Amino acid sequence: MPWSMEDYPASLKNVDKPVKKKAIEIANAMMDEGYEENRVIPIATSKAKEWAENRSKSELKAYSEEADETERDDDSSNSRPALAETCEHVIKHEKGWAVKAEDAKRASDVKETKREAVERAKEIARNKGTAVIVHKKDGSVQKKIRMD
């Protein structure tokens, strides 16, 4: 079930607006990737709080005032979203190693070590029935791991 700023889990009731909005965004993305609903909200809330701690007050205010991207189009079908069909890539990131779906605009997660990033990518790919493509620091492909 996709959530929005008007329809969200009760556990987000007393959460500040930017954190609530980010948690909903993360939770919806996780649901799109095949995570179970009972796991999504605690993880998304934790990640959203962590995200907010690393933002200035002006960034949080600007994010709160942006159009609500958590809304879904009314004409959306029950088919899997495009990113659910793509491989997960493990790539070098300024803060460690990123897990990023092919064609995604941003990383879904960043880990300190490559090993942690590969494990996270495997978990996502396993849920999606796709593969993990692990890259070297220079961007070249190191290996492909099938998860289907």
* Domain that residue 135 falls in: 82-146
In a domain? residue 74: no
Co-location of 103 and 131 in the same domain? yes
In a domain? residue 72: no
In a domain? residue 1: no
In a domain? residue 24: yes
Co-location of 28 and 53 in the same domain? yes
Co-location of 59 and 97 in the same domain? no
Co-location of 89 and 142 in the same domain? yes
Co-location of 89 and 129 in the same domain? yes
Q: In this predicted structure, what is the pLDDT of residue 29?
A: 85
Q: In this predicted structure, what is the pLDDT of residue 143?
A: 93
In a domain? residue 25: yes
In a domain? residue 76: no
Co-location of 140 and 89 in the same domain? yes
- Rounded-to-integer distance, Cα 116 and Cα 104, Å: 20
pTM (2 d.p.): 0.47
- Rounded-to-integer distance, Cα 29 and Cα 10, Å: 19
Which two structure tokens, joined as six digits, stand for 56? Answer: 């200035």
The answer for residues whose C-beta is within 8 angstroms of residue 43's C-beta and 6 or more apart is 26, 30, 35
β-strand partners of 96: 93
Which two structure tokens, joined as six digits, stand for 76? Answer: 């959306």
Which two structure tokens, joined as six digits, stand for 11? Answer: 């556990």
Residues 65-80 have a mean pLDDT of: 51
Residue 27 contacts residue 41 (beta carbons within 8 Å): yes
In a domain? residue 135: yes
Query: Residue 51, Cβ neighbours under 10 Å: how many?
Result: 17
- Report which residue type is found at 27: A
Q: How many separate domains does the chain show?
A: 2
Residues 71-85 have a mean pLDDT of: 48
Residues 126-144 have a mean pLDDT of: 90
Co-location of 87 and 61 in the same domain? no
